[in-house]
C-alpha cells in the first residue's frame, strides 16, 4: 500500500532493501526437467522461491528497524535469474508512523 489507513507518516527514512539469492541443486533441476515434460507444478522450485522471498522480506524489515523505522510503505518485489541462481529483491520506503487519534 502507498499509505496506512489510520496512521500518519511522521518521518521518511528512505528506501530499504532485502535480497536473497538461491541456487538450485542439480538433482532437483533434473527432476524438474522431467516433471516439466508432463506438466504440473514444479514444487521444489516453488518452495525455493517462497523461501527466497521470505528471507528477502526479513532482511528488508531488519534494515527498516535498524534505521529506526516502524513501517514500510510501497513495498514491492523484483525477481530475476542469473547464471542458474534465483534472485529475489524486496524493497520499499522505510518510515516512522504514528496512529491518528480520533
Domain ranges (residues) in the chain: 7-99
Q: Is the pLDDT of residue 86 over 70?
A: yes
Higher pLDDT, 85 or 58: 58
**89: helix, strand or coil:** strand
Record: fold of 7-99: Translation Initiation Factor IF3 (3.30.110)
Whole-model pTM above 0.85?
no
Q: How confident is the model at residue 23 (pLDDT cuts 50, 70, 90)?
A: confident
Q: Is the pLDDT of residue 32 over 80?
A: no
CA atoms of 9 and 97, how far apart (whole Å): 4
Cell of 79: 525477481
pLDDT at residue 22, as a whole number: 85
Rg (CA), the chain: 18
Higher pLDDT, 48 or 55: 55
Amino acid at each position: 500500500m502507498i499509505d496506512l489507513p489510520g496512521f500518519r507518516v511522521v518521518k521518511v527514512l528512505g528506501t530499504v532493501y532485502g535480497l536473497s539469492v538461491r541456487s538450485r541443486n542439480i538433482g532437483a533441476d533434473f527432476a524438474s526437467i522431467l516433471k516439466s515434460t508432463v506438466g504440473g507444478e514444479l514444487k521444489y522450485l516453488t518452495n525455493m522461491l517462497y523461501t527466497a522471498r521470505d528471507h528477502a522480506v526479513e532482511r528488508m524489515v531488519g534494515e527498516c528497524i535498524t534505521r529506526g523505522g516502524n513501517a514500510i510503505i510501497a513495498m514491492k518485489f523484483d525477481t530475476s535469474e542469473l547464471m542458474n541462481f534465483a534472485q529475489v529483491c524486496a524493497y520499499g520506503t522505510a518510515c516512522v508512523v504514528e496512529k491518528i487519534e480520533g
